[in-house]
Structure 1
Amino acid sequence: MSEAAEVRAFWQELGLPGLVDVHTHFMPERVLAKVWAYFDAAGPLTGRPWPISYRQEEQQRLDRLREFGVRAFTAMLYPHKPGMAAWLNAWAADFAARTPDCLHTATFFPEPGAEQYVTTALDAGARVFKSHLQVGGYHPADPLLDAVWGQLAEAGVPVVTHCGSGPVPGKHTGPGPIGEVLERHPRLRLVVAHLGLPEYDEFLGLTERFPEVRLDTTMVFTDFTEELSPFPRELLPRLAALGDRVLLGTDFPNIPYRYLHQLHALAGLGLGEDWLRAVCHHNAARLFGLD
């Protein structure tokens, strides 16, 4: 059986109409090439190789997700310096216009004009934003971003944020800096990428404290991540209790294993089929109004 057939069998057996993956990457080709080069050299960071399992042309990657039965996905992209975000947003708007099953994604950086280009992205129909504190190297509570967080909280548009300190810590990663943002903007629909690894306990606490905070499963529980940052099994009851605020994320195409492995890793937690249905489809479908 092909991998696509196996993935489809997974969600069909759960009685789902497909999958919703809130953490997939599409970006300009030359930017993606640099991202792949970073992972190719990731050995010194993680202590082992990080092969890209789906190193394919854009259309092939889109075809693969559709073969898997992913009915909605994102184009997570992020700047690493000033003057880059507005250009990425323009590319993402065009990508969303020609890719109807992609949730229109945008991003930002702490710089003059951020509030204006975020407004432009929202007016153009952006449905989700990405903030990468490790790559961007910025403090999320930077005054240049306060109005941006306020805009997004008011609009109710989710922000998938890499704010945990894995796979390597950044200057402003961890629960403290992003916690400052949530204190100022408690209605912000923050989606903590990777369940906040390795600070799982602390990010579960933030999710329990702020009712609009969510978690995505990206790479967590897979063999690759369990060797680096294992999820403490004593925290599983808390994760189960947050079952309506956990979303499927995978990091496709930048993963060092098959897409199916993430799904099997989630099923292997033993949290039940209702939890799996919510995580793999229902929670994100509700958040993005897909039903």
Structure 2
Amino acid sequence: MSASETEALLRRLGIPGLVDVHTHFMPQNVLDKVWAYFDAVGPLTGMEWPITYREEEERRLALLRGFGAIAFTAMLYPHKPGMAAWLNSWAADFAARTPDCLHTATLFPEPGVNKYVHQALDAGARVFKVHLQVGGFDPTDIALDSSWGALADSGTPVVVHCGSGPTPGNFTGPGPMWRLLARHPRLRVIVAHMGMPEYGDFLNLAQRYEGVRLDTTMAFTDFSERLAPFPVAEHKRLLDLGDRILLGSDFPNIPYPYVHQLDALERLGLGDDWLRRVLYENGAALFHVKPPSPVV
């Protein structure tokens, strides 16, 4: 699918654009280290992973908008204590100068976490990102209990990398998330990467908890199908949970063109209504995204 074919797809579906809930923008020095990790075939990836959109920030924004994104996120995450509050400060500034970015924040189990989570919420954070694989922490850590409660009370969605792909971590897999949601059943969790590779287990989680959603990040693409194919037997549940699945891409840190994610979703053959919801309607409803004003 080319960029022009993407425009044709949006016209056919009758949607104003894409709501992509899983894109990465972060301080350049942090992003450089992330890219260097991918370049070095780090142990959490374990494979060659060329960065398709290794561009400066303004160019990346222009590319993403050119693909049709009218709302997106700045997914960022700490790998050690002492980072989260600083990252949240950067993200607040980025959101202020990037109106189509959903103000994103993060957290880590450390002293002061509840304070900076409340500060981020007060500053207008609309979505949080948590990476259990990179952060290496248990989501049920007691240090996070009040923060999860605040996020549940505010109805703020949290994108959580909790599946065991591409490499298992000490706290990845469905078990920790089942325990977290047993404690905070109203928490709005967006399971990143469809829970790859434990797809069925995380679909079960969504069926059990109304607030749980899943994002499509890298799922169904040729790259991921070679490593962790999505079970064909689960396609019916994709339809059944069609109002809980959100577009995610992992832009810019993807080893293929952005439009391949859209093509991978379309070729599932689940119909235009399903595709319309995934690409736009579900995300727009969750984050109260308004269609862009027409150019006069």
TM-score (norm 1): 0.97
Q: In the aligned structure 1, how far is the partner of 2:197 from the partner of 2:83?
A: 29
Whether the 8 Å CA contact 2:51–2:255 is kept in 1: the answer is yes
Query: 2:140, 2:179 within 8 Å by CA — same for their partners in 1?
Result: yes
SS in 2 for 1:160: strand
> Secondary structure, in 3 states, of the residue corresponding to 1:106?
strand
CA distance in 1, matches of 2:278, 2:19: 9
Q: 1:149 to 1:45 in 2, by over 3 A?
A: closer
Instruction: Report Cα offsets for 1:205-225 as digits up to 9, x if no partner.
Output: 000000000000000000000
Question: How far apart in 2 are the matches of 1:4 and 1:212?
Answer: 33
For 2:69, the equivalent position in structure 1 comes to: 70
Structure 1: gaps spanning 5 or more residues: none
Partner of 1:35: 34
Q: How many residues align?
A: 290
- CA distance in structure 1 between the partners assigned to 2:134 and 2:10 by the alignment: 33
Per-residue deviation, 1:68: 1.4
Aligned twin of 1:248:
247
**1:108–1:13: structure 2 CA closer, same or farther, 3 Å change rule?**
same
Corresponding residue of 2:238: 239
Q: Which blocks of at least 5 consecutive residues in structure 2 are unaligned?
A: 291-296
CA distance in 1, matches of 2:239, 2:146: 34
Residues 6 and 260 in structure 1, CA contact (< 8 A), matched pair in contact too: no
Instruction: State the Cα distance separating 1:106 from its structure 2 match.
Output: 0.2
Query: How far off is 1:80 after superposition?
Result: 0.3
Deviation (angstroms), 1:40: 1.1
Shift of 1:46: 5.2
Report if aligned partners of 1:43, 1:49 keep a CA contact under 8 Å in 2: no
| Partner Cα distance (1:44, 1:122) in 2 | 34
Instruction: State the distance in 2 between where 1:222 and 1:42 align.
Output: 20
1:13 Cα offset (Å): 1.9
**TM score, norm. by length of structure 2:** 0.96
What residue in structure 2 maps to residue 131 of structure 1?
Answer: 130
**Counterpart residue identity of residue 270, structure 1:** G
SS at match of 1:243: coil
Query: How many Å apart are 1:48 and its aligned residue?
Result: 3.9
Q: Distance in 2 between matches of 1:160 and 1:46?
A: 19
- Is 1:93 the counterpart of 2:92? The answer is yes
Q: Is the 8 A contact 1:5 1:68 kept in 2?
A: no
2:214 paired with 1:219: no
Percent identity, please: 68
- The reply to whether residue 159 of structure 1 matches residue 162 of structure 2 is no
Structure 1 residues 26 and 109: CA distance shift in structure 2, 3 A: same
- CA distance 1:140–1:46, shift in 2 (3 Å): closer
Q: CA deviation at 1:226?
A: 0.2
Q: CA deviation at 1:45?
A: 5.6
